[in-house]
Structure 1
Amino acid sequence: MTELRVNRRSVLAGGLAAAGLAALSGCSPGQNGAARTLQFWHLLSGGDGIALQGLIDDVNSAHPEFHVRPTVLAWGAPYYTKLSMAGAGGRAPELAVMHSSRVPGYVPGGLLDPWDLSRFSELGVDESTFSEPVWNSSVVDGELYSVALDAHPFIALYNTDICGQAGALDSDGLLLRPSDPEEFREMCREIAGVTGTHGLSYGFIGDGQQMWRLFYTLYCQHGAEMTFPPGGQVEMDPEAFAAVLEFMHSLADGEIAAQRGTIDVAIAEFAAQRSGIHFTGVWELPAMQDAGVPVGATMIPPLFGGNAVYADSHSFVLPHQSEPDEQARSDTYTVVADLLKSSLTWAAAGHIPAYLPIVEDPAYAELRPQAEYAEAADYLVYDPVAWFTGSGSNFVQQFGQIVGGAVVSGSGYDEAAEDFRSYVNTMLAQPNPADPQGERS
């Protein structure tokens, strides 16, 4: 990469390394030979990793009878491969973090153990303490297999100074919410008139994840559904599919947004205040604040009729253990409950806390601009459930390769929809490799 990328993965990396070494050394005020060690695997680096380590330190200080020992592994395929191998061998850590979208693919192979709702209820954690979309994303085959720490949606950051000059803010100083594509495009053109460059920063070239996040947000705004039945055929709305690709192409006209922008260019452009709006994940918020951008944040406007927000969640899971230590497992419930109840600190990283009492706390309402998009928790849409979907999967890169040409060229939308259908149907016919029985999930 030749661009300077200002984002969470590059923030305070040295501090994370130091924190990780301290954690792996096993040093703990309560570690006197009697403290039980709870192994905790996660994939959070940069500012997120440091924030989580702070929460873990607080838990360890409050519970000298045990010590949470985190291990940070590389994000993406390496992490999920190691986690599946540990679960398959029955010698997994006591606790791990997974993206909610990846959990359904691990359940059929017995790689995860379900959580006991009655144990959590005693600790003040139950269905009523989560929004419906978040809770539903945690349940597989009627059992709770993950407990969300957050929701990290794909949203619109905006420069309040630039958008104010362009007349794109309402009387409360918040970004206007156009209700149709042309109204949004016109607003972006007004913003471009102020910046002299682009109205919108949205990098997508060579980045299937970025394309999928925006595509699925807009697709679901149509009220359209997309389901991947195991061993069956994909169910999707080809007209909505093509309409979204056409709209995405219209944004990359060289005025509204760069015609061939990458995510790194988009981040750098918005950080340098050369655009007014940035389509990105909430995780980019702290870096923009650090860069001195006068930044607000909101859900992407309901351009196709309804509110929908693509998202995923960092969630706690119980990797399968053949002979779990019951006391250690009980301690693990305590750890998760404590982390949820202290997640106001986590919100500073941009994520929406999944634990509703935190979002309903007056202190959260004072957290700006995070509180401006808190309502997104009611409109979250997660990846279609399948063993091959989810964050860090090949699915999103394949999606980018299938639709990228149409988005760039402005043609072949229907063909891209059919190519996508064919790809998904091929995947649905294959067995889940995480299932040792080789059954379709």
Structure 2
Amino acid sequence: MATHTRSSGAGAQRPPAQGPGPGSQTPPASSPRRLSRRSVLRGTAALGGAAALTGGLTACSGSGTFATGGRTPVRIWDLFTGADGERMQTMQAACMKAHKDVSIESTTLSWGSAYYTKLAMASSGGRPPEAAVMHMSRLAGYAPGGLLEPFDLDRLAAYGVTRKDFAPAVWERATYKGELFALPLDTHPFITFYSPKVARKAGLLDSSGKMRSLDSKDAFLDAGRSMARATGKYGMSFGYLLDTAQSWRLFWGLYGQTGGQYRMVPGSRAQLDESAAIEVLSFIQEVLNGKIASRNADYAGAIAAFSSGKAGMILSGEWEIVGFKASMPDVAAMPFPTIFDKPANYADSHAFVLPKQDYPDEKRREATYKVLADLVKNRSLTWAEGGHIPAYMPVLATGAYRKLSPQRDYAAASKIVTLDPKVWFAGAGSDFQARMCDAMAPTLQGQKTAKQGVEAMLSQLDRLLAAPQPM
């Protein structure tokens, strides 16, 4: 599809954006290697909003190896709470049991802008933890600014972790300027859960008892109508009101399926394939027509409608799998259907990163590689029980993983992932996603046209691109 540019005035055609590629943030050659605390204080406010810079920062102790029962300590920051937090603790305990020479000192911080602000501040001070968890969609705001260190591929290979073990799309997003800056732990896609009971009543199951193909606009909408008749309420459930990400996840995944391109260069105006974006929003309006799905559902309402059988399908993240299995043990799932021309599934990825250290301790660094490789390679099956797809692909071929249901049925989504745009202000927990959701909301509610919704999104993008880059 051709890329369209908006006019900057009546009848005026806007010039194409200039400068480096999308989201490029290459600092000038004369930039100092270290960032000043003042520059990062300004930058972190832009990266995630004003956040308290106390509490989690004190978790970092000084550099240098100290003994913990004869073990070399590895400090890791993460943002996992609830069931995910418990699984990560289980994985780390198993890792320490297998490696008697290391100890893991784990610190869990509140996720969102506060977490990423604290991580940036710790890195800028040169005394961060040895490793931290980051959403891959946030990498573009950290790697170019010198807040992270690249991984040594030979060191990873020594512990059995190599490029061939990861999906190409995931590995590519973990790199910056040809170097690996994030070690992927998982992909967590936006998928389709469905009730086999409702789907069977609607005549939508194939001979194997799985949902038949919904890979077209007509097939998807027809399935929604059939399930609405079967439930007597709605066919599908999708909650987006008062949520800072759901409608963006749905839109961006479908936009990826159109093959639509984007250009988001700081200092220039945003470019999208506007005809493709309008087509996507128009389709979502067809789904949210008050019959196939509610026009005005919030996140909790959508979960409740699906869990109670008032909708036969829900469009949501795989992270809801534990709750769904508790309320409906036979819940099934699949990757998001290919509605347009190209298979694509919106997703993000939890990954381990190495925050920049002024005086790295070599013994700790070696222990860090040992720990991270072990967690990714040997503990991913535990992580998969919570719904996330292991990024380390050999795990997917094991008999133990193939027994996980419905995880095995949407694992293919990891091969067609579409992450947020590669630009410093995008990513999980960012103000960017919230702004995009707010811009789309009137269109999804039927109050504005799809064209007006796209214009509102582009207007917000232009404001973000005009803001000063933090690093």
TM-score (norm 2): 0.83
- Give the whole-Å Cα distance in 2 for the aligned partners of 1:144 and 1:404: 37
Give the deviation of 1:165 after TM superposition: 1.1
Residue type of the alignment partner of 2:411 = A
> For 1:113-151, what per-residue CA distance to the aligned partner results, in whole angstroms no more than 9, with x for missing partners?
111111111111111010011101100121110011000
Deviation at 1:230, TM superposition (A): 3.6
Contact 1:159 1:293 in 2 (8 A): no
**Does 2:134 align with 1:122?**
no
- Residue 412 of structure 1, CA deviation: 2.7
Q: 1:171-211 CA deviation, whole Å, 9 max, x = no partner?
A: 11111222322331121111111111111010011224000
> What residue in structure 2 maps to residue 157 of structure 1?
193
8 Å CA contact 2:72–2:367 kept in 1: the answer is no
Distance in 2 separating the partners of 1:244 and 1:221:
9
Counterpart of 1:358 in structure 2 is 395
Amino acid at match of 2:250: L
Assess if the C-alpha contact under 8 Å between 1:159 and 1:296 holds in 2.
Answer: yes
The answer to which of 227-236 and 72-81 deviates more is 227-236
Is contact 2:138–2:426 with CA below 8 Å preserved after alignment? yes
User: 1:346 aligns to what?
Assistant: 383
Q: Among 412, 416, 422, which residue is 2:449 paired with? A: 412
TM-score by length of 1: 0.89
Are the structure 2 counterparts of residues 328 and 215 from structure 1 closer, same or farther at C-alpha, using a change threshold of 3 Å? same
What corresponds to 2:42 in structure 1? none
Deviations 1:55-102 (A, max 9, x none): 000111122222101111001011111111000101100110000000
* 1:296-321 superposed Cα distances (whole Å, 9 cap, x missing partner): 11012111122110000000000111
Letter in 2 for 1:423: Q
Partner of 1:207 in structure 2?
243
Aligned length: 407
CA distance in 2, matches of 1:130, 1:227: 27
Alignment of 1:193-272 (within 5 A): 193-272=229-308
> What is the rounded CA distance, in whole Å, between the counterparts of 1:127 and 1:246 in structure 2?
39
Residues 141, 429 of structure 1: alpha-carbon distance in 2 compared, 3 angstrom cutoff? farther
- Tell me the secondary structure at the aligned position of residue 372 of structure 1: helix
Residue in structure 2 matched with residue 65 of structure 1 by the alignment: 101
Instruction: Work out which of the residue numbers 328, 335, 346 in structure 2 matches 1:310.
Output: 346
Cα distance change on mapping 1:362 and 1:293 into 2, 3 Å: closer
Q: Could you report, residue by residue, the CA deviation over 1:315-366 in whole angstroms, capped at 9, with x for unpaired residues? A: 0000111101111011010111111122011111111100011112232222
- The residue that corresponds to 1:427 in the other structure is 464
Residue 432 of structure 1 aligns with an amino acid whose one-letter code is Q
1:303, 1:108 → 2: CA distance?
A: 35
- CA offset digits 1:373-405 (Å, max 9, x no partner): 111111100101111000000001100111111
State which of 388, 397, 406 in structure 1 corresponds to 2:434: 397
Q: 1:284 aligns with which of 305, 316, 320?
A: 320
* Contact 1:201–1:278 (8 Å) recurs in 2: yes
Q: Percent identity?
A: 39
What is the rounded CA distance, in whole Å, between the counterparts of 2:347 and 2:78 in structure 1? 19
Partners in 2 of 1:333 and 1:323 — Cα distance? 17
Does the 8 Å CA contact 2:295/2:446 hold for their aligned counterparts?
no
Kindly indicate whether residue 175 of structure 2 is the aligned counterpart of residue 139 of structure 1.
yes
Gap regions ≥5 residues in structure 1: 1-22, 25-30, 436-441
Contact kept? 1:181, 1:304, Cα under 8 Å: yes
Supply the distance in 1 between the matched residues of 2:421 and 2:96 (Cα, whole angstroms): 37
CA contact (8 A) 1:147 1:315 kept: yes
| Residues 215, 32 of structure 1: alpha-carbon distance in 2 compared, 3 angstrom cutoff | closer
Match of 2:208 in 1: 172
Which aligned segments of 4 or more residues in structure 1 are displaced greater than 6 angstroms?
A: none
Deviation, 1:410, is: 5.2
